Structure 1
Amino acid sequence: MLRGSTEEARMTRSARILVVEDNRTLARDIEQRLVRLGFAIAGVTGSGEEAIVLAERERPELVLMDIRLEGGMDGIAAAEHIRERFGVPVVFLTTLVDDITLRAASVEAFGYIVKPAQDRELRIVIEMALYKHTAEKDRRRLEAQLRRSEKMEAIGQLAGGIAHDFNNVLMAILSNCRSLRRELPADQPPHRQVAQIETAAERAAHLTRQLLAFGRDAIDQPVALDLASHVHRTTALLANLIGDRVAIDVAIASDLHAVLGRGSEIEQVIMNLVLNARDAMPDGGRVTITARNAPDADEVEITVSDTGQGMDDATRARVFEPFFTTKEVGAGTGLGLATVYAVVARSRGRIDVASAVGVGTTFLIRLPATAIEPAAAPPRDDDDIGPPIEGTIVLVEDDEQVRSVIRDILERAGLRVIEACDGHEALQACRDHPGIDLVLSDVVMPRLGGAELARSLAVDAPGTKIIYMSGYPNRGVPGGRSQDLGPILQKPFTPAELLDWIRGALRSDAA
């Protein structure tokens, strides 16, 4: 017997075997030997056609198949059907090696037994066949996992590239919307219209974050989060999105532990699950969100349940696959739940789903708890530029629209701005204008990008402070060129975020 664990040997011995032999005496002898060796009998037949029927009904772990069978279908043809349709391994029974036996090799048999077989030979061949079949299934599973992994990596790279270009577009739209909204009277229709454009652009930014999360590229470092505040903030935003026919109930434990994560991603997970629940209830219903400390582990449990249509087993098995959707063409991206899965996995958590057709669906998320206290974040107006800032900044950005809106923010804050469209122009600007306080540079640019600019400045103007910004995530810059750049300001950003970064850099310079 092949060496292996006791459990493997036990499972092999209890395997259910279908015997296909048209000689009744031999069939009975084989059946008795198998029972004596500890195997179970899934059925006995002398017909190839009936063997296929039994294989479909009984689903044995292995078939012992006589090559020569009376009737219209011989053992080779029957074995081929069984292997292709049910994936069951076949061991051939034969009295001699001849042309028919050699033809059987094309069916990829898992072994041959020459009749009449002794117990020891029968046991060894069967156990080897079962072991080989298990190894083959494991190999196919690992190959499928590798293909999925490579596919996910390719899609992630594509998503990062799309997000980069899209974020530049959103940067211009959002910045100009904020400027217009600031200048227009709040009680006038144009102000409301601009606010609607801004809301639509922010939803587009949300989709971009889905692409980045799906690509498994973290934008910022995880921190301790007050989960309750993020759930409440998300449900408040969802009130206008889910409509009047869907009610939301929220139940959060008062002693809820903090979790490590990224606030925007946690909110995105809740939003995606609730919107998915809404879509499952076209006639209305109820969504229930709960959060509590897990009773059996140092974890926090979050559930999102609905009273919707529910899912069958086939749909539930694929629900986290990227681009899988049951919605009509154009009605869904198929990224929502794939993004949820990616975010939870990146947070070192896990997610399960329970569903029944006509009853509803419940998603259960478990995230590791942390003893770290969440930092209190003071309320802040994203358009608030704060006190004036003194200094000269070289702004390096190849997208003219993005460069223009960033320049307006910087000048409104009181900074002197020197523009450059790539690293070469930035180097020349630093040579022509002594006393540069800071360089604000995009990472990916033609001719000379942010990483190359940093290396050149280290020689030409050592000690120059640099802030990097990008539409790519921190680890998603093509070629891995962001590895040594440190934190990257993610586009699209608000005026307040940009100026906070600048103040921080200038303070460290003065320290």
Structure 2
Amino acid sequence: MKVLIVEDDRVTRMLQQRYLTDWGFDIQILTDGQEAYDYLTQSQLPKPLIVLLDWVMPKRDGLEILQALQESGNFAGIYVIMVTSKREGEEIAKALDNGADDYLRKPFHPKELQARINVGVRTLQNENQLIEQNHLLDRFGNEMHELAEERAKQLVHADRMASLGVMSAGIAHEINNSSSFISGNVQTFSRVWERMLKSIDELLKTQPDTMPDKQLFEFVLDEVPDMLDGMRQGVSRIHAIVKGLTEYSRDDCGKMDAVDLKKCVDDSLVICQNRIKHIGKIDINIQPVNGKVYGIANQIEQVIINLLGNAADELEQTPESRIEIAVVQDGDHALIRIMDNGKGVSPELADRIFDPFFTTKGVGKGTGLGLAICSKILANHNGKLSLDQSYENGACFVIDLPIHDTEVHP
């Protein structure tokens, strides 16, 4: 620890220097009050610091320096021992009232000097520990505040999802009613169009000159079938999206049933198709599984959707972007592998990406909770989520779920 000796008397200064050097302290020496004032009031003062401060000195005395330190607010990390030949109790009290931590009367015994220096060392060490503990408490408080805010956001989101689950049946009913009208009209028009097609085709062959706009009729003949197919596909897509949203928002907590992994993948792709529409190529390879996987389908879909969303975010600026989804069996486990050709995950981050609130996305683009929640979901299924670090073409996340030969009753 550093000790500053401020002493104008050469003999006293030499004794202090010799003793403190023998005791292993880092020594700095100043010989008048102005030097001490300039040193102790600097902004970058090295701390912790013990000061042996003489009271009576040229230019500025020790009491003035104490008062200057108090005014600067620079006392933290400094322990001041006033060294004086004064004997009156009122004078000693005045020094202590102005900020001195201790005093040492001249002439002093080496043992007394050592004891008072040791008190200063212990005091500064305890003060430093308290500062570190306060910093830890502040950091803990900030983290708890952030956790509370994030938890509140999760609860709001959960409440919205619960509301969506309640509303989804009614919404699905209304949308399906509307799409049913569209579907019914498309079917009716298709039947009528078959009859009209024959009449128009016959007119074009037998009475071409009576047609008011032959090119228009030819265009209609070519385009109407494609328009009808497009409307049929649109209606089917509406039904698929409504069904997927209804199942995804449904509360199935605790209801473990046999899960169709292919359907989970297909429904997940439907739900997040807008999120992944910029992906150049999506390959799907689903192999049959011998046995049954038990779980909560919409929760497994939630994991797949999260991983697909992460991959889509990663590939936003990637030319020839590609996502591959594979379902394979590995012994008594079913593996859903979701791979992309992005930059991948560095080894330095691989162990941290599943930690809550850790994110590699920019500010406002991620909470750092997605993978942590996915890991928890799969743990509740006696499975796990992992990063395949041997995959060299980007990132590969693996959903691992146990396969059962017999029915499971969780």
TM-score of the superposed pair, with normalisation by structure 1 = 0.41
Instruction: Give the helix-richer structure, 1 or 2.
Output: 2
Q: Which has the higher contact order (CA 8 A, sep 6+)?
A: 1
TM-score, normalising length from structure 2? 0.48
